[in-house]
């Protein structure tokens, strides 16, 4: 009887340690997420499974072109009581303190200069709120999907500028599908 009790206690302690370790990893280090939608095509596709790095931004600031994950909380979310949180995944285009604008030809301007980037493969048809200059605050980021004409992003008032504290982490590793397995290119 003593051996059985000792084994039960040992197994219980082991399971408690494993559960605590899993909780700490998911909360502070990384978590799995699944891409829903095509707003990040061709970089990320529908149903891609990713590991989000939640620790890097504890020691450094987000950089332009990082692919980040943040909660999407539209104004009407208060009307939905029992819904799962929705997270968006987008690329950082504008950094704190910068001015972002998109002209009629679809060019992105940062502080009056055209942004040199190769992620958006098509001409932007909809500038949204960025048709006028948007001045970012000291802790705000302007984000866009790579599939610029099929993305709800900072151009939309319901998304707007992303606060630094709202960034959950950066997309780090694609784990599914296996033929695309690998670390994601940000810069």
The active-site residue out of 39, 54, 151, 154 is 39
Instruction: Give the domains, in start order, of the chain with CATH numbers.
Output: 33-183 (2.10.109.10)
For residue 31, give the nearest of 14, 55, 58 by alpha carbon.
Answer: 55
Average pLDDT over residues 103-114: 94
> What is the value of pTM for the model shown?
0.82
Question: What pLDDT, on a 0 to 100 scale, did the predictor assign at position 109?
Answer: 97
Average pLDDT over residues 41-69: 91
- In this predicted structure, the answer to whether residue 26 has a pLDDT above a threshold of 80 is no
Average pLDDT over residues 11-34: 74
25 pLDDT tier (thresholds 50, 70, 90): low
Tell me the two tokens of residue 122. Answer: 């098509």
Tell me the two tokens of residue 70. Answer: 């943040």
As a whole number of Å, the CA-based R_g of the chain is 20
Average pLDDT over residues 47-60: 90
CA atoms within 13 A on the CB side of 85: 9
Residue-wise DSSP of 33-62: EE--SSTTTTTS-TT-EEEEE-SHHHHS--
Please give the residue that has the higher pLDDT: either 55 or 80. 55
The active-site residue out of 54, 90, 151, 154 is 90
Please give the residue that has the higher pLDDT: either 63 or 86. 63
Question: What pLDDT, on a 0 to 100 scale, did the predictor assign at position 179?
Answer: 87
Of the chain, the percentage scoring pLDDT greater than 90 comes to 48
Q: Does residue 116 have an active-site annotation?
A: no
For residue 174, give the nearest of 56, 49, 88 by alpha carbon.
Answer: 49
Element containing residue 11 per DSSP (H, E): helix 2-24
Please give the residue that has the higher pLDDT: either 73 or 101. 101
Please give the residue that has the higher pLDDT: either 172 or 134. 134
State the residue for tokens 């060019």.
107
Q: Does residue 90 have an active-site annotation?
A: yes
């Amino acid at each position: 009887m003593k051996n059985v009790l000792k084994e039960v206690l040992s197994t219980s302690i082991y399971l408690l340690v494993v559960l605590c370790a899993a909780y700490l990893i998911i909360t502070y280090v990384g978590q799995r997420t699944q891409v829903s939608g095509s707003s990040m095509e061709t970089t990320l596709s529908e149903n891609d499974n990713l590991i989000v790095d939640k620790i890097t931004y504890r020691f450094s600031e987000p950089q332009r072109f990082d692919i980040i994950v943040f909660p999407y909380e539209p104004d009407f979310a208060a009307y939905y009581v029992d819904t799962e949180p929705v997270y968006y995944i987008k690329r950082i285009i504008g950094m704190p303190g910068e001015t972002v604008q998109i002209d009629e030809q679809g060019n992105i301007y940062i502080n009056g200069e055209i942004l040199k980037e190769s992620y958006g493969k098509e001409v932007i048809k909809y500038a949204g709120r960025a048709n006028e200059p948007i001045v970012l605050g000291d802790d705000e980021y302007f984000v866009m999907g790579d599939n610029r004409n099929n993305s709800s992003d900072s151009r939309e008032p319901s998304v707007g500028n992303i606060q630094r504290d709202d960034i959950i982490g950066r997309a780090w590793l694609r784990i599914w599908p296996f033929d695309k397995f690998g670390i994601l290119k940000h810069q």
